[in-house]
Every structure is written in C-alpha cells, then in structure tokens.
Chain A
Amino acid sequence: MAGIATKHTLPAPFHEYELDDAFDEMVDSGGAVRPHYRHIYEALRELTGEELRRRQQIADLSFLHQGITFTVYGRDEDTEHIFPNDLLPRVLTREEWSRIERGMKQRITALNLFLKDIYHEGRILNDGVVPREIIYSCKHFRRQMRGLHVRKDAYVTVAGTDLIRMPSGEFVVLEDNLRVPSGVSYMLVSREVMKRLFPDLFRKCGVQPIEHYSQALLSTLRALTPQGSPQATSEPNIVLLTPGVFNSAYFEHAFLARQMGIELVEGRDLVVHDNFVYMRTTAGLRRVDVIYRRIDDDFIDPLAFRADSGLGVPGLFNAYRAGNVSMANALGTGVADDKAVYAYVPAIIRYYLKEDPVLDNVETYLMSDPLQRKHVLGRLQDYVVKAVGESGGYGMLIGPHSTAEQRDEFRRRVEEDPRNYIAQPTIRLSRAPCFLDGNVQPRHVDLRPYILFGDKVTVVPGGLTRVALRKGSLVVNSSQGGGSKDTWVLD
C-alpha cells in the first residue's frame, strides 16, 4: 500500500520514485528526504533530464575509452562489455560508516586468527565451536597449508565483504570474499568520473577520500616481504600476478599495478629456480619477494595443485613453503568464506576476540543439518539457496522468483549433497535512487567495502555499491544485469 500511497508525491525527476517495504536510502518511511541526501536531492531537482543524460553519456564514454570492460563468460561474440555505472552516488553518514568500519576490522581480525588456528593446532575444532567435518569437507581447505608459517599471520590480506541493509536500516553481512575479491578498481574509477561530473555537489557534501587505497594496498603488501630477502631493506620486489588479458577482471589487475607502480606479471613471466622466484626481464632474471596474486589457489602451481593449469608457475608452492616468497592472499583462505563456515563467523568472533559481533550475519540454515534441511525444503519458495563454494551469483536459487521445476531441481541437488548448500531467507535489500530512462527510480543495492590486513587494518571509507539495475531484481552481480555506483561517506 505504501507504494501506491506515495506515488506521484515527489516532484520531477522523482515522479516515478515509488516506495515499498524495503529500506530506502534517500527517503524515510514518512516520505521525507533524509538529511544526508538533501544536497543531492536538491541538485537533481535543478538539473534537467537533458543535462543528466548528457552527464551519463560523458560517464559512459569515459568508461569505454578507458577500456573499463568486463567479460561475460559463455558467450562467443563481443564478450567485452562496459561496466554499467549509475550516475547517482549512494550516500552514507559518518555514523553509519564508523559502525561498518568497526565491524569489518573485527571480522577480518577474527577470520585471520581462525585461519591460523585451523591450519595449525585447531583449537576451535577441539573445543567443538566449529564442527571438524565442516572444515575438512570444504573444497577450499588446503591440506598443503597445514603447519606452514604465513608471514605475519596475514592469511587474508585483502577482503571484500558484502553487506546488505535490512528493512530495519541495519547493516548485516551477506558474505565474505576472502580469496581474490575484485571490484575495487570500479570504486576508484567511478570516483574519478563523479568528481568530474558533479564537482559542486561533491564539494558541498564533504565526501571522505578513497584515493589512498592503492598506496595502502602497497604498504600492506610491502609488510609481507620475506625476512632475509636481500631486497627487504632496499626496495622489495612486489608483483601482481594476473591470469592474463582474457580474465574478466584484467582491467582491474592492470589498473592496480599501474596505481601502485609494480609489475603486472603473468605465470609465464615467472620462473622458480632453487626455491626462489624470479621474473624474466630484459636485464635478466630478477628476484620476486611478494606476489599479489589474482589467480585462484587451484591454478597457482601445476606441480602442487591442478596439473592442467597453464596460468600458474611450476614450483611456486615450494618456494612459498620455503618462505622465500610471500603471497597475498595466502593459499587456503577459501575455507573461511565457505558459506557453511560463514554461519559460524559470529561464534568465531566471540571465540577469539571475546567480543560480540558488531555486524550480524544473515540468518543461515545449514542443509547438512537434517532439521534445518527439512524446514527449508518444505518452504523453498521463501528462501534463497546457495552452493557454499560459489560466488558471482552462480549456483543459486531465489525462491520467490523461481519456477516449480527449478525448485524441484534444487531440492534434488540439496538432498544429493546437503553439505554443499545453505539457505537464507529472501531479504529485501535496501534501495537507492538511480538515474534510469530519463528519471530517478529506486533500485536494490548492496555494499562491498574493501579491507586490508597487514601491519594494521585499513578500510577505505566507501566501497563498491552494486545495483540490481532491473526493476524489482535483487541480484546485483555484474554477470547478471548488475551495475555499480559511487559510494560517498560524508565527513
């Protein structure tokens, strides 16, 4: 009813801005514009649709000319698309942000302690806080990592954690990305574009800067330089390892390498000799100290992991084991972002830090538990079912938007391999104003802040706000019709 009641109550270009029961980032439940959106709201009232469209075009061209494209797998032609970027920023207050920041720092600290523990003594398993079988049955658990010392115990160096906002306005954690999280380049580039398009607004609002991300990432990586490297005191050699130009995130790899001033290498650029890693340069071979790797565990070394990988470096794992090279993130971190382990993160935080979690989890049902399974399978249309090891919106069922056949198919899959699935209630993500079809309309959004863990923990204020651009859609993944927008944390 709320939607009908408030229709046409806002003036152009907001005349199609309908409210419903999801939390709205711009308008409160009484239909009034929230104070931290006031500047944007007023600016939009003054700009003509024509002018907004012109700025949208400038933004799109800027993305196209910079080659900011992503690849959609499984289609033959024209696999390069520009990443849809919405013109309007998503705004957070300083108070909202400081809670998120505290939550993120707490979470990554606990998860790193957890990873160290399960790859060494396994106290948390012995104490029965996390069931042993859930760890050892996880496909991202790497037994090769047991007992291996990770420099500074920084297992997860870079994390991208997905947050969503409940109808109550509270932020909760939807999932952790602890392997090779991507998207930070879109955050940085769309900020550049926004500063060019809305300089006045930007100045009026007082937005906290994010431009130091690359610098912070570089110092974080530098902190991982192996002890005893001859280059440790002078200039450690840090490289970014990419699968190559055909990877969907290649733009980001190149972008970050350039921003940090480090070499962007592919597997074929590196050679291992006597457990040391070298890169092949025009001046001969040069020793490598730290590898910021953007290749999955499985592909990093054909001798230690998948033998059919042509992307990795033969012998790299042995050099890593010998402590002659550091990798960020460490291998085997995927066990901590397994969606079944996710359900235990609040307990993990309490166990290691003796604190309550700052940010809650989404209520999660483990399909390996017979009672929980029975409950969910009885009302599949109300739940989102996810495969535990997948990301990017692949391998999931969204109950309310599914057909009976899809539900039957998932029921069968869950019963075949219950450990591989979890279920969560369908959550109405919060909505933020987007510029679409010449006017402003609300769309569902999430938030992915980026967290760096080295000598200290750094979270740049903001992150990537992902948008489900299709009306009514709750899926924000770029592979499934999602886009992004700039995120402004006000000072």
Chain B
Amino acid sequence: MLSRVADSLYWMSRYLERAEHTARVINIQLNLMLERGSQSEDLDWARVGRSLGMEASEEEDAWSAESLAQSLLHDASNRSSIVSSIVNARENARQVREQISSEMWEQLNRLFHAVRRSAPEVWDSRDFLQSIKEGAHLFQGVTDSTMTHGEGWQFIQAGRYLERAVAVSTLVGAHFHEFHQPAQAAAERVYLEWIGLLRSCTAFEAYCKAYTADVKPERIAEFLVLHPSFPHSIRFSAEALEMAIVKIGREAGSRRAAHVERIAGRLRATLGFGQIDEIMAGGLQAYLHELLRQCGHVHSALYQTYISYPIEAALEA
C-alpha cells in the first residue's frame, strides 16, 4: 500500500472519530446546561473547549457561550470544530477515493453535504448533532462491512482508536480536574456532572450494569480508563490500537515493524497492568498525562516506520 494512502486513511478515520466525539460531548453539555441555569454558561463552554483539548489562549476570555459553541459546531477555521473535522475527513477520503469502497465514499459525502447545508443555532442543534453521530456510526458500519479488512482497514482502525484514546484521556483529565473534590462529592449538581462524563463516553448504561447507578468518581475513572471490554475505555482503545499495528506489520511485511509494535505494546501494558487505587494515589492527572505522551510516541513511530521513512533506509531493507 502506498504510504500516502495509509496516511490519508489514518487521518480520515481520526477526523471522523473526532467529529463524532465532539458532537457527543456538546450534545451532553447542552443537556447539562439546561439543568445548571444560564449564569455559568460562559464558564461551562470554556470547560467544554478544554475537555476537547482546545488550546487555552488569550482568546479564552473572549469565549462567550454563544461564540465558542457556534465556533465548535460550524467554524471552518476552528480546527477543533465539527465542520472542519468532517471536511478534513472527507478531504482525506477524496485523496484515496479509489482505495475505499463506493459505499464509504457516498456515506461520507452525504455527511459532508449535510454539514455544509445546515448551520443551526446552538440551542437548535440537537438534531444536527444527532445526525453527525449517526452519520459517523453509519460510516463505521459501512466501512466494516464493505471494505477488505486488510492493511488499509487496519490503518483506519489505528486512526480511530488512537484518536479515541487521546480524546477520552483528555476528557477524563479535564473533568477530574474540575469536579474531583471529595468534599462535595454528594452534591446533586456534581452528580449530574459525573453522569454527563459517562454519557459523553456513551458509558452510562454500561457503567450502571457494572457498578449500579451508584456514582463514585474512582469507579468512573476505573471504568473509563481500565475497563477491558468497553469500547470507549482507554484500555480497550489501546488494545485495539496495538492489534491494528501488529496486523499492519504482518500485512506490510516490513522488517522495520518491531519498533512501533514495541511502543504500542508498552502503552497497552501500561493500561493492562494498571491498578486504579495505585493510579489514584499516584495522581490520575500524571497518569493520563503519561498515556497522552505514549500515544504521541505511537503516532510518530507509526510515521517513521510506514509513512515518512528515508529512502536510504528502505533501499537497505
């Protein structure tokens, strides 16, 4: 497979995962804001921005409720916005139009045209956000059932799960930073925030099945970070990521694959052998920070091995 194609498939998938994640987080926030009352809206939106990994800047002061929200939805110049994620996903797909199935392209194109057509106001955007989520899920289903599960598909998997690991780590970190103060754990308002976090990872129902509706921050952290089989937990994502990378190595038959496999394996092991009490005692933020750093390493190693390697290295091989 062409390196450029692998690159585009990987980013197509990352951007789509990002669009879906952003849509989900905003949708949940809109719901929560109805409960909170309007006096804190500006602060709330600033936190949404942080939990999506937007860089805090001097503009932060100017983040009014309306403008930030609007920008997260529709601003093509805002790199974190839903619309730019969809546009970028589609642009990457367009680069590799002949590598993906027609069904995939048509579905992504449909999503793209839908996003460009409608630009609802924030408070009328529930249907819009819902359609993004559904569109992204549909694309994923179409992808899984119409594309050969070969190397290209594995790059799509790698992109999706790396993006998810990063997004969930960032979200959990921002949330614990804001709300994890043991003294007020019982307050009703904070209770809603914890549920909001779970919902933002589509984890509320799954959490309840595992732990009942008894909401405890430490359990939430364990569920979202370490759960072995819940598809939005960081550990699950890291395992899926490693599996994709191992299969890429096998498909491509590259002799230089060991390096990236070792780094992805280390990330998986960090999570697989993690203990929540130790993590909390050592500081959840530091732990999440370490995970993000390792995710960054996996990304660069993937690039060095398969995408932007020097010609000399390849001719020797």
Residue numbers of A with Cβ under 8 A of B are 64-67, 244-245, 250-251, 254-255, 257-258, 263-266, 268-269, 271, 273, 279-285
Contact = CB atoms under 8 A, between A and B. Distances in A.
B94 to A, nearest CB: 5
Contacts of A245: 91, 94-95
Given A282-B248, A283-B252, A254 B315 contact: no
A57 to B, nearest CB: 15
A476 to B, nearest CB: 27
A67 B253 CA distance: 34
Contacts of B95: 244-245
Given A66-B105, A67-B105, A257-B98, A281 B3 contact: yes
B277 interface: no
Chain A interface SS verdict (over half): mixed
Contacts of B6: 282
A271 B98 CA distance: 22
A285 B253 CA distance: 12
B69 to A, nearest CB: 26
Contact of B97 (A254, A269, A271, A283): A254
7 tightest A-B CB contacts, nearest first: A258-B98, A254-B97, A282-B306, A254-B98, A283-B252, A282-B252, A284-B314
B106 interface: yes
Given A65-B106, A282-B3, A282-B306, A255 B98 contact: yes
Given A269-B3, A284-B317, A264 B102 contact: no
Given A65-B106, A281-B2, A282-B151, A271 B253 contact: no
Interface residues of B, number: 27
B247 to A, nearest CB: 12
B1 to A, nearest CB: 5
B86 to A, nearest CB: 15
A265 B4 CA distance: 9
Contacts of A255: 97-98
19 contacts: A65-B110, A66-B106, A66-B109, A67-B105, A67-B109, A245-B91, A250-B94, A251-B97, A257-B98, A263-B2, A273-B315, A279-B2, A282-B151, A282-B252, A282-B254, A283-B1, A284-B254, A284-B314, A285-B315
B2 A265 contact: yes
Given A269-B3, A282-B254, 18 more contacts: A65-B110, A66-B105, A67-B97, A244-B95, A250-B94, A250-B97, A254-B97, A255-B97, A258-B97, A263-B2, A273-B311, A280-B3, A280-B4, A281-B252, A282-B252, A283-B1, A283-B254, A285-B311
Nearest to A270: B2
Contact of A266 (B4, B106, B311): B4
B265 to A, nearest CB: 19
B110 A268 contact: no
A285 B306 CA distance: 11
B98 A285 contact: no
Contacts of A285: 311, 314-315
Nearest to B307: A282
B140 to A, nearest CB: 19
A281 B4 CA distance: 8
Given A251-B97, A257-B98, A273-B315, A65 B3 contact: no
Nearest to A261: B98
A258 B94 CA distance: 13
Nearest to A280: B3
Contacts, number: 67
Main secondary structure of the interface of B (DSSP, over half): helix
Contacts of B253: 283
Contacts of A250: 94, 97
Interface in B246-305: 248, 252-254
Contacts of B311: 271, 273, 285
A226 to B, nearest CB: 20
A8 B151 CA distance: 62
A124 B102 CA distance: 49
B245 to A, nearest CB: 12
Nearest to A239: B2
Most buried by A among B4, B253, B307: B4
Contacts of A265: 2
Which one of A245, A271, A283 has the greatest number of beta carbons of chain B within 10 Å? Answer: A283
Contacts of B109: 64-67
Contacts of A282: 1-3, 6, 151, 248, 252, 254, 306-307
Contacts of B97: 67, 250-251, 254-255, 258
A257 B96 CA distance: 11
Contacts of B317: 284
B95 to A, nearest CB: 6
A115 B79 CA distance: 52
A283 B5 CA distance: 12
Identify which of B95, B98, B306, B317 gathers the most chain A CB atoms within 10 Å of its CB. Answer: B98
A345 B274 CA distance: 78
A277 to B, nearest CB: 13
Nearest to B1: A282
A402 to B, nearest CB: 39
A269 B94 CA distance: 16
Contacts of A284: 254, 314, 317
